[in-house]
Amino acid sequence: MSISNTPPSGFRDFTPKDASARFGLIQTIVRVYRSFGFEPIMTSAVEDLAVLTGKGGGENEKLIFKILKRGDKLTEASAAGSGELADLGLRFDLTLPLARFYSHYGGTLPKPFKVFQIGPVWRAERAQKGRYREFYQCDVDILGCEDWMAEVEVIEAISSALGTLGISSPEILINDRRILFAMLDDAKVPHEKRIPACIWLDKLDKMDPEDVWAGLYEEIGRDSASLLRLALDESREGTDGLARLCALPGLAEPVERLSRILQSLKVLLKGPAVRFEPCLVRGLDYYTGSVFEFRHPSLGSSLAGGGRYDRLVEKFGGQPVACCGGSIGFERLMLILQETAQQAGADGPQACVTVFSDELRERSLDLAQQLRAKGISVDVYPGAGKLKNQFKYADSKNAAYALVVGPDELASGLVKAKNLKTG
């Protein structure tokens, strides 16, 4: 029986054209992140299961690819019947590994620590169009900094990366979870109804608002829902709307912080619109304060997002560390760039050296070596066959020139170059 030659469901391979485009994107993002003084780290793809669970990863914790124990440990676990069969798992994001990393290395790193990490993460999602089980994230974080400039720099770096890639007009939404919670309290929404209410509010930009509010009438009662709706509308009225929220208990600091972030970003970012959006929640439970999202007109979901997670590092031991970070959704970025055709094509070698005859192979290899030494990328046809087929090969590699080194050329000392672009 022959085996399937496709990757498992939800996983993907990338042909040279796509792989080149992905490399190009990553290089651009790395260059921009570095230009802000962020430094790269790499963490392991595999984590102890205890690292991945119970840290506020929300729904993602249910989607962990678990790795089977090995050897005696597996035999024991199987024999026990109800034993834990797995001890390791594939990371589902880059933030948990970063928090673990910082808990270990924090003492030896610059303070604050500006860091980026780009790499694959894995989630056992139900396979469906546009949703993958292996996908890349491009995270940028500042650890050990409670100042609001951390938020500004993270958002500016992401915005700059997107701008450099030609995505000039995403909309940036910012909130602080504490603001929404205070508004819920003020509207007399009972504590146990906070999360259900947030889940409804999160749908406001995804479905008909009237249907959402109908749901909320059911969930939290008509009085609370009406109060909340009015308060949300008022809070969106320019800078005054946000400023007035200062009056709610505990909001002096969050509102001041958010106002300064918004003010700074409005000055710094020329392209994207930045606005306060009190209903922005984001799914991960590890966020403790400000949250933000980049939206793009051609996407139903966010293109990038992040927030402040001041209580995550301490879960791996040690003192609390103020942290803020964001992540570009690499696959969504690829999707937009493909749609707008701004994706770089696969770049072929500059020239392809053909092989004239069996005896002249070394002359072709030698010419290629000389050209490479001059910085020119050069393919050699591996074998001696009809020149016509070799020209076809050179063309399929997108080479600009096919070079011929035959007896005439060797006699004259001049290599013949066939321009494959103009024919």
Taking CB under 8 A as the criterion, which residues in 117-146 touch a second copy? Answer: 120, 122, 124, 133-134, 142, 145
154 within 8 A of 114, measured Cβ to Cβ? no
How does 47-66 read in b/e, with b if 16+ C-beta sit within 10 Å?
Answer: beeebbeebbbeebbebbbe
Contact 318, 366 (CB under 8 A): no
If binding is defined by CB under 8 A, does position 167 make contact with a second copy? Answer: no
Backbone angles phi, psi at 419, to 5 degrees: -75, 115
Q: Using the rule CB under 8 A, which residue among 88, 189, 212, 231 binds a second copy?
A: 88
Instruction: Find the part of the chain contacting a second copy (CB under 8 A) among 223-231, 335-343, 373-381, 400-408.
Output: 373-381
Q: What is the distance between the alpha carbons of residues 352 and 271, in angstroms, rounded to a whole number?
A: 43
Tell me which stretch binds a second copy (CB under 8 A): 204-212, 218-226, 362-370, 408-416: 362-370
Say if residues 279 and 202 touch (Cβ distance below 8 Å).
yes
- Show the binding pattern over residues 386-405: x = contacts a second copy (CB under 8 A), - = does not: -------x--xx-x------
Interface residue with a second copy among 76, 110, 188, 209 (CB under 8 A) is 110
By CB under 8 A, name the one of 75, 76, 111, 298 that touches a second copy.
111
State yes or no: residue 365 binds a second copy (CB under 8 A).
yes
Taking CB under 8 A as the criterion, which residues in 259-298 touch a second copy?
Answer: 264, 267-268
Q: How far is the CB of 12 from a second copy (least distance, A)?
A: 6
Stretch that binds a second copy, among 40-48, 217-225, 293-301, 405-413 (CB under 8 A): 40-48
Q: How far apart are CA 284 and CA 327, in angstroms?
A: 13
# residues contacting a second copy (CB under 8 A): 102
Three-state DSSP string of 238-301? HHHHHHHHHHCCCCHHHHHHHHHHHHHHHHHCCCCEEEECCCCCCCCCCCCCEEEEEECCCCCC
User: Hunting for tokens 């690819």 — which residue is that?
Assistant: 65
φ, ψ for residue 99, nearest 5 deg = -60, -45
CB of 90 to a second copy, least distance (A): 8
Listed in sequence order, the residues at least 6 apart from 412 whose beta carbon sits closer than 8 Å to its beta carbon are none
Site track 56-85 with a second copy (rule: CB under 8 A), x = hit: ---------xxxx-x-------x------x
372 counts as binding a second copy under rule CB under 8 A: yes
Query: Between residues 50 and 247, which has the closer beta carbon with respect to a second copy?
Result: 50
Nearer to a second copy, 79 or 191 (CB): 79
Beta strands 416-419; 401-404: pairing state: antiparallel
Token couple for 351: 């020239």
Q: In terms of CB distance, is 152 or 231 closer to a second copy?
A: 152
380: contact with a second copy by CB under 8 A = yes
Residues 291-350 that bind a second copy (CB under 8 A): 315-317, 346, 348-349
Q: Which stretch binds a second copy (CB under 8 A): 35-43, 191-199, 234-242, 296-304?
A: 35-43
